[in-house]
Amino acid sequence: KKGALRSALTDALQSGKLAVVDELRFDGPKTKQAAEVLDALELGGRILLVLPGPTADGAVEKSFRNLPQIRIAYAPSVGVYEVVAADRVLFTQLALDTVEGKAPAEAPAKAEPAAEAERGDAE
């Protein structure tokens, strides 16, 4: 199973449909901000968002789940079909590390605000 997933991710990377961000964090559920992130990354079509695990407050999931083209998956359980069926795949770095076996399956206890500052230009 892991070999097939790695193969699907390699194909996604080579075809340009894989994107990676440091992290995604919102102060609260903000669908508009989620849409702005996708626009800034020029992601369209059916998008698979892969997170390392459920976020503490659920703000990221709530922000993206209202967008019709988004499917949310968590790194420990992401499947090959989900990756292949998506037009674009967006990973956080920790989620990608988790899939590659480089990080623990749990989400970090605290997130750094650095990526939030980097996303500021998406508005």
Q: What is the CATH number of the domain that holds 8?
A: 3.40.1370.10
Number of domains in the chain: 1
Using a pLDDT cut of 70, give the percent of the chain over it. Answer: 82
Decide if 100 contacts 78 (C-beta within 8 A). no
- Domain holding 12, by residue range, is 2-122
- Which pLDDT tens digit goes with each residue over 28-59? 889 999 999 999 999 989 999 999 999 889 99
Residue reference for tokens 């990756």: 83
Cα–Cα distance measured from residue 112 to residue 110, given in angstroms and rounded to the nearest whole number: 7
Under 8 Å CB-to-CB from 36, ≥6 apart: which residues? 122, 123
